[in-house]
Structure 1
Amino acid sequence: MDYDNQKWINIYHTFETIWGYKEFRPPQKEVIHCLLKAQDALIIMPTGGGKSICFQLPALLKKGLTLVISPLVALMENQVNDLKNKQLAVDLLHNEIPRQQRKQTLNKINKQQLRLLYLSPETLLSLPVWNLLIKPHIEINGLILDEAHCLVQWGETFRPSYSRLGAVRDALLKNKPTNQKIAIAAFTATADPKSQNIIKNSLQLKNPQIFSISPYRKNLNLAIKIAWTPRCRHHQLLNFIKQQQKQSGLVYIRSRKDSEKLSQWLQELNYKVAAYHAGLSPIQRREIEDKWLEDQLQFVVCTSAFGLGINKPDVRWIIHYQTPFLLSEYLQEIGRGGRDGKLAKTLTLISEPTGWLDPSDQKRNQYFLQQLQKNYQQAKHYFKQIPQQGNLINLKEEIPKIEIILSLLYRWKKLKWIDPFNYELTSNLSDLNISQISKKSQQESQQMKQYLMTRACRWQYILNAFGFIKEAKNFNCGHCDNCLRK
């Protein structure tokens, strides 16, 4: 590496002083070096692999401010509180922060007193925050996208602000001194080759270094079981939980209503459990997270809103009471087990393939696809009203769903962002084939279905799906249900 010895001595000294470690795990050192050299990067490392240190350490060593774009308040607070306990110059902004605290944080940014600032895409692109960050005197050295798979999974309709992040760097640099550089790095635990391309293109990464570590975790045992009826599903869930005794775990479910219903049933059976979903208030969510972390709750019945970045090392089991729509979601969620390197069991319950006895899995998938189709059709309905060039904020009153529509058009390569607020259509919208786009979504759901039905090693299937073709060749983990059956 082209850093001299003295610089690496300083890096190691900072690393040991703040975090207490003497050695980096692969590829932490290479990633840190890349970011210190202000190069763009895409980093794919398994859950619990030490991703956050890779961008926190360079941010503390460099002059100026590093912006960390993070999807969830719980995830931000978890990391920021940890860094504040180490007396570091770090803060966060989100819409749940009291006005006085927000004012103090904005003042710290203005006085350049921070090294790291955590915020969501929506907060970054809110006008009061944006108008402060573009001021020439505020030096910004890096833009980190944490949990970058959210850009792929949520960026089209659920969190459309993600689609505008690619225009952020150039818009910031226009207002800064000419010698200022801003590196962009995206971190995630799951990104197949297609998702990697979406991340690279959406963020407009420039010759990024790719660090891709195999998702295989030898301490995670994978198993799938057919639940022939809804009653059978309940029975298998209880059997599995009883086998884990009092150990900490998670039950994943796909809807708010189902999480409440299942949690109530389990509470009646005297389990220490709570339902967790995006419909809860921020205070309720924090309370459940804290109780789970402190083992006051044995497990949580949760939607995908739970667990992202929350560091609980001793999660011994994960059960999917209902299957995720995407394989990347599944891999994220099972990755929350066994972060301490010790054994963790996972089980996914599925309906029998015909759906005659229990059509619930098929209905959920159909509903998800129908919702996507509905969003696409609504977007098409407004196409004639969208001017060739425009400003997102000015159009909001005329077209309430303009942000989602522009996000979809960006993903479909029909639009470019001039800056995070102004766009230009790049081609005629009349040739847009909505049914073709819907077919692609259906193909993505097929990948999860194939995984559930495969008779081959489950880890081999995951390795192939995420582009680790060489590693997958003749691979048998020896501890998934299919390998054990053989």
Structure 2
Amino acid sequence: MNPDLLPLLKQAFGYSEFRDGQLPVIEAALQGRDSFVLMPTGGGKSLCYQLPALLLPHVTIVVSPLMSLMKDQVDALKANGIAAEFVNSSLSREQVLQVFTQLRRGELKLLYVAPERLLQPQFIERLLDVGVSLFAIDEAHCISQWGHDFRPDYMALALIRQRFPAVPVMALTATADGATRQDILQQLALQQAYIHLGSFDRPNIRYTVQEKFRPVEQLVSYLQQQEGASGIVYCGSRRKVDELSSQLAQRGFSVAGYHAGLSNEERNSIQDAFKRDDYQLIVATVAFGMGVNKSNIRYVVHFELPRTIEAYYQETGRAGRDGVAAEAMLLFDPADIAKMKRWLDAEENQQRAEVTWQRFLAMAAFAEAQTCRRLVLLNYFGEARQTRCGNCDTCLQPPQQFDGTELAQKALSCVYRVGQSFGMHHVIDVLRGGQNQRISELGHDKLSTWGLGKDLSHDYWLSILRQLIHFGLLQQDITAHSVLKLQPAAKPVLRGETLLSLAVPRLQSSKREPERLSKQQYDRPLFARLKTLRKHIAQRDDVPPFVVFSDASLIEMCQQLPTDNRSLLAISGVGQTKLARYGADFINEISDYLAADNQPPAGKLAK
């Protein structure tokens, strides 16, 4: 190993050791080799090109798809004392020229650009003139037609191999199946590349799926348990974003809605406020988040079923990028499957529709799984595992089974008695002895199944019917208003020839353990004070709070209680630059807290 690497890692980034897979990728870059890097979000991909950039003679060009991602990474690099800039349409002409001047003088170690900018002939000539040591292609799955976020502009990046044949290229992504990986290698013409396929596992994320009954109330109950932590709620449409963000604001949550229907100024303002912890919660379409380099997002909620496991994995990966415990919660309605089927049936390109449908079915299978959810995810991406994770809902609270034969017979009989011509809610109303006008007019209050299930709630029966659909005993006819129809498999159950085991419906949001971060014991009152101090410093320096220090660094401070420069420098994430900029503030705050015997006097910023 290059003897300069570990000292530089600590001095520039504040880390004392490399994460899994980082060192060989960095060494390959220093040797001038191409590389392909697959690491999970939060796994340390950025360091793979940022650290070698400090040792290479010329500038490292980082291709990034979103302006906000560029700014976040450059802000974080500058906070560590590293010479980095970006060029995109958010800058004025004078600002762009200033960056080009720094580039010409050899003052920059890293320059972030969008693919459109990189491929401009004048820009390429400028780079040929100053020299490039490394090209890093971030979010490299965008180059592949098989990737879940294909972008045509990325395909033209093959040009850099022609114009810079001797400059190594590093392609990085968090989500790429086998077909996508091969396509990336081919499109970028990577030569004898070093390939690192890291684990897709994010062990700090807890995966939970809740069946939808009263989704807004379920979401509110979940959010009330989050204790002011930062989070994202994803919705499938702009209308739902506007509706849900308004409902949550009325409930007193610090929330904003985000979608492509807002102006650029509105979107940028909301995103900046979220990064600075001015909003605790963003309700958004999937247009939000790919470019958010915010490390202290503690939870991600999907209010509707995502279209692919790749999208779900990437979106949930925005939680817990700092390695601290985080949660991913999905609210699932099996009716979403029928809606997707109707939508794809209208698709003109049936070949593409078939691929989309198969990927969606994999996502639906994840939501319906009765086994460890992490195993479903990892095996989907080809990472074969059989050991349960112990950190998802099905591991922590395995579904309870019961003999559901009698309930199934009541439900199936009711579907038959109403002529297989009504949907779930009407069938449930009959089972529960409903006395509304429609039931009376249809004479369904005279049926033998009327009132047979009045001792069970509407939501309980809803879960039972969904399970009967899942087992193939019933089918929702999406061509006829989703009416329920009996299937051949229902006959032996109705006749009592077959017993049927069902899962006990989970009708309430399960409460998390009292100690949410049970593996991380630390002083919570001190953590709250350090977060407040961090927020003040961030406002003073005009940067997001997590750029000052991550939650992981603050937690370690609360465990180790550093009260001098040497002990603070031992904290992960504290390098020489941050020690000089922020060290006195945090040492003073911790010392004041300890001296007051945990009675919190107001800390003051160091001058």
Q: For the residues of structure 1 that align with 2:262 and 2:100, how far apart are their CA atoms?
A: 28
Counterpart selection for 2:143 from 129, 143, 151: 151
Aligned twin of 1:482? 394
Q: Which amino acid aligns with 2:211?
A: I
Q: 1:457 maps to what in 2?
A: 372
Shift of 1:340: 3.4
Stretch of structure 1 that moved more, 440-449 or 46-55: 440-449
Deviation of 1:365 after TM superposition, in Å, equals 6.5
Q: Give RMSD over aligned pairs.
A: 2.5
Q: Once the 2 structures are TM-superposed, how far is the Cα of residue 214 of structure 1 from its aligned partner?
A: 1.5
Deviation, 1:206, is: 1.6
SS in 2 for 1:467: coil
Deviation per residue, 1:87-113 (Å, 9 max, x gap): 433211111211111122233334443
Superposition deviation, residue 125 in structure 1: 2.1
Query: Partners of 1:367 and 1:141 in 2: how far apart?
Result: 47
Asked if 1 retains the 8 angstrom alpha-carbon contact of 2:373 and 2:394, the reply is yes
SS at match of 1:312: coil
Q: Does residue 199 of the first structure (1) align with residue 184 of the second (2)?
A: yes
Matched residue count:
398
Find the residue that maps to 1:14 and give its secondary structure.
helix
Match for 2:7: what amino acid?
A: H
Contact preservation (8 Å) 1:148, 1:199: yes
In the alignment, structure 1 segments of 5+ residues that lack a partner are 174-180, 375-433
SS at match of 2:201: coil
Q: CA deviation at 1:171?
A: 2.6
Q: CA deviation at 1:156?
A: 9.2
Partner letter of residue 294 of structure 2?
A: K
The match for 1:468 is 383
- Letter matched to residue 223 of structure 2: I
1:410-442 CA deviation, whole Å, 9 max, x = no partner? xxxxxxxxxxxxxxxxxxxxxxxx543442233
Q: How does 1:148-297 map to 2 (within 5 A)?
A: 148-152=140-144, 159-173=151-165, 181-228=166-213, 232-297=214-279
Higher relative contact order (CA closer than 8 Å, sequence separation 6+): 1
Q: Which runs of 5+ in 2 are unaligned?
A: 400-607
Equivalent of 2:124, from 130, 149, 156? 130
Deviation string for 1:430-485 (max 9, x for gaps)?
xxxx543442233222221222222221111111111112xx1x221123222221
- Name the amino acid aligned to 1:448: M
Equivalent-residue separation in structure 2 for 1:144 and 1:213 (angstroms): 18
Change in Cα spacing, 1:28 to 1:59, as seen in structure 2 (3 Å) is: same
CA distance in 2, matches of 1:345, 1:23: 26
C-alpha contact 1:154 1:160 (8 A) present in aligned 2: no
> Does the CA contact (< 8 Å) of 2:141 and 2:150 recur in 1?
no
CA offsets, 1:194-234, max 9 Å, x none? 22122222222222222122122222111112214xxx222
Note if contact 1:166-1:204 (Cα within 8 Å) is conserved in structure 2: yes
CA contact (8 A) 1:83 1:90 kept: yes
Distance in 2 separating the partners of 1:271 and 1:89: 39
Q: Distance in 1 between matches of 2:146 and 2:286?
A: 12
* 1:60-97 C-alpha deviation (Å, 9 max, x unpaired): 21111221111111110001122223343321111121
Seen in structure 2, the aligned counterparts of structure 1 residues 119 and 457 have a Cα distance that, compared at 3 Å, is same
For 2:74, the aligned partner's letter is V
TM-score of the aligned structures, taking structure 2 as reference length: 0.61
Describe how 1:45-444 pairs up with structure 2 within 5 A: 45-133=39-127, 135=128, 137-152=129-144, 159-173=151-165, 181-228=166-213, 232-308=214-290, 310-352=292-334, 355=335, 362-363=338-339, 366-367=342-343, 373=347, 435-444=350-359
Q: Residues 37-52 of structure 1: matches in 2 within 5 Å?
A: 37-52=31-46
1:307-338 per-residue CA deviation (whole Å, 9 max, x = no partner) reads 33534343322110122211111111111222
> Is 2:374–2:392's contact at 8 Å kept on the other side of the alignment?
yes
My pick for the range that moved more, 257-266 or 316-325, is: 257-266
Deviations 1:20-49 (A, max 9, x none): 222212211111101111111111112222
Say whether the 8 Å CA contact 1:325–1:365 is kept in structure 2.
Answer: no
SS at match of 1:485: coil
Structure 1: distance between partners of 2:192 and 2:361 = 32
Of the three residues 345, 349, 360, the one matched with 1:445 is: 360
The answer to whether the 8 Å contact 1:155/1:161 transfers is no
- Inter-CA distance 369–207: structure 2 relative to 1 (3 Å threshold): farther
Cα 1:239/1:49, change in 2 over 3 Å: same
Q: Would the aligned equivalents of 2:61 and 2:111 in 1 still touch at CA under 8 Å?
A: yes
Distance 1:158 1:42 in 2: 18
The alignment's TM-score, normalised by the length of structure 1, stands at 0.76
* SS of structure 2 residue aligned to 1:191: coil
Q: Is the CA contact (8 Å cut-off) linking 1:369 and 1:441 kept in structure 2?
A: no
Match for 1:188: what amino acid? T
- Bigger shift: residues 360-369 or 303-312: 360-369
Q: Is the 8 A contact 1:155 1:163 kept in 2?
A: no
